[in-house]
Amino acid sequence: MVKAIRIHKAGGPEELKWEDIDVPEPGEGEVRIKHTAVGLNFIDIYFRKAIYPPPGYPFIPGMEAAGVVTAVGPGLTGCKVGDRVACAGRPMGAYAEERVIPANVLVPLPDNISDELAAASLLKGMTAHILLRRVFKVEKGHRILVHAAAGGVGQILVQWAHSLGATVIGTAGSEEKIKLVKDLGADHVINYKTQDFVQEVRNITNGAGVHVVYDSVGKDTFYGSLDCLAPLGTLAVFGASSGAPEPFSISELAKRGSLSVTRPSLMDYTKTREDLLTSAGELFQMLAGGLVKVSVGNRFPLGEAQKAHEALEGRHTTGSTVLVP
Ligand SMILES: NC(=O)c1ccc[n+]([C@@H]2O[C@H](COP(=O)([O-])OP(=O)(O)OC[C@H]3O[C@@H](n4cnc5c(N)ncnc54)[C@H](OP(=O)(O)O)[C@@H]3O)[C@@H](O)[C@H]2O)c1
């Protein structure tokens, strides 16, 4: 028996229950892992509330963790007991002391990446990688807008885009968060709770607008994000922290100058093993080179995941949050 957080029905943080579970022996193509650090992500909230359909009840949430391989399935090669590994994405089940997982979703951890750093950065950092290098390829001279820039993904986006030579404008919801984002290298930071961010972006860019907006807030920022774009600009809506944007007419894109809107998901961009290892590898290089620093702003015992969910949903966290098994 080991301990895990399980959800038996959709609802608030109180539905996260700390329970005993059995972990089977790994089958073909699988390994058993003992988790050493688990990453908290906003997507965990969508599944808890059943905004994204859960795999069935009860289920163990969690999509990001690091740990050590304790058993390998029959005939498996390329992975052995004692290997340090991390995962980011499906299958869900990271909120557990131990789990069985397909070996082909695991990323081997280099010596210079600690378990905690991996759990704090793999999912969020690979998301930043695909957004900046594949969804819209940011180059020197681009002007970009990053919403929720003090958050887990936001902080990584700001630093990575800065290192690419972009002019980075961030938004955040408090003065404390604004200071944090400035210290990470953002050129301008807007308090989108107290300021009109569209007007501020227009002022900062002398009316030209930005080439790309990375918007994880969704409903509350969607039209404003479109209004911040220069003609031919791209809006990447990659999250819905405030809810999903309402359906919109495609003519809104023509009206503002042939804009593009995309709704990327990390899972689609890392479906093949090659894409997964490329994204993880480029992230690890940025971390090792010090160009991206991932701050663990908050730590909670895994058994107290309820408190972690309350903090993330209540907009009280900055950077990454790690659950400690
Ligand atoms: N598409 C993908 O593959 C993918 C992958 C990873 C993450 N994501 C998305 O990226 C976003 C960021 O994820 P994260 O885990 O790093 O979370 P996070 O950004 O650390 O936390 C969410 C932040 O969003 C802001 N926010 C604005 N309106 C909010 C509201 N109504 N309720 C709660 N927060 C609100 C808050 O910052 P302020 O107080 O500064 O407003 C809050 O701290 C999430 O939407 C997540 O779903 C998508």
Boundary (domain end) residue, out of 237, 263, 289: 263
**272: in domain:** no
Task: Let me know whether 165 and 196 are in one domain.
Answer: yes
Task: Let me know whether 201 and 101 are in one domain.
Answer: no
Output the tens digit of pLDDT for each of the chain's 325 residues: 999 999 999 999 999 999 999 999 999 999 999 999 999 999 999 999 999 999 999 999 999 999 999 999 999 998 999 999 999 999 999 999 999 999 999 999 999 999 999 999 999 999 999 999 999 999 999 999 999 999 999 999 999 999 999 999 999 999 999 999 999 999 999 999 999 999 999 999 999 999 999 999 999 999 999 999 999 999 999 999 999 999 999 999 999 999 999 999 999 999 999 999 999 999 999 999 999 999 899 999 999 999 999 999 999 999 999 999 9
Task: Let me know whether 29 and 83 are in one domain.
Answer: yes
- Please classify residue 207 by burial: count the beta carbons closer than 10 Å to its beta carbon, then call 0-12 exposed, 13-18 middle and 19+ buried: exposed
Q: Is 253 helix (H, G, I), strand (E, B) or coil?
A: helix
What are the angstrom distances between the C-alpha of 69 and each of 22, 49, 99, 188, 313?
Answer: 17, 31, 10, 44, 32
155 touches ligand 1 (CB under 6 Å): no
**268: in domain:** no
- How far, in Å, CA of 43 to CA of 126, rounded? 15
Q: Specify the residue with its C-alpha closest to ligand 1, atom 36.
A: 315
For ligand 1, what atom is nearest to the CA of residue 43?
Answer: 47
**126: in domain:** no
Task: Let me know whether 15 and 73 are in one domain.
Answer: yes
**159: in domain:** yes
- What CATH number corresponds to the domain at position 314? 3.90.180.10
- How far, in Å, CA of 100 to CA of 32, rounded? 4
- How far, in Å, CA of 291 to CA of 295, rounded? 13
42 touches ligand 1 (CB under 6 Å): yes
Task: Let me know whether 152 and 62 are in one domain.
Answer: no
**233: in domain:** yes
pLDDT at 295: 85
- Please classify residue 206 by burial: count the beta carbons closer than 10 Å to its beta carbon, then call 0-12 exposed, 13-18 middle and 19+ buried: exposed
**33: in domain:** yes
**156: in domain:** yes
Task: Let me know whether 254 and 158 are in one domain.
Answer: yes
Task: Let me know whether 234 and 301 are in one domain.
Answer: no
Find, among 316, 24, 4, the residue nearest to 177 by Cα. 316
Task: Let me know whether 57 and 97 are in one domain.
Answer: yes
Task: Let me know whether 172 and 94 are in one domain.
Answer: no
245 touches ligand 1 (CB under 6 Å): no
CA of 154 to the centre of ligand 1 (A): 8
- What CATH number corresponds to the domain at position 190? 3.40.50.720
Boundary (domain end) residue, out of 263, 291, 310: 263
The total number of structural domains in the chain stands at 2
**134: in domain:** no
- Please classify residue 123 by burial: count the beta carbons closer than 10 Å to its beta carbon, then call 0-12 exposed, 13-18 middle and 19+ buried: buried
Q: Which of 92, 182, 217 to mutate to test ligand 1, by most ligand atoms within 8 A of the CB atom?
A: 217
Task: Let me know whether 196 and 238 are in one domain.
Answer: yes
Task: Let me know whether 237 and 314 are in one domain.
Answer: no
Task: Let me know whether 23 and 111 are in one domain.
Answer: yes
Q: Specify the residue with its C-alpha closest to ligand 1, atom 37.
A: 148
For ligand 1, what atom is nearest to the CA of residue 314?
Answer: 33
Boundary (domain end) residue, out of 230, 263, 296: 263
Q: Specify the residue with its C-alpha closest to ligand 1, atom 31.
A: 242
Domain range enclosing 78: 2-121+280-324
- How far, in Å, CA of 218 to CA of 241, rounded? 6
For ligand 1, what atom is nearest to the CA of residue 318?
Answer: 20
Please answer whether residues 120 and 320 qualify as being in contact, where contact means their C-beta atoms are separated by less than 8 angstroms. Answer: yes
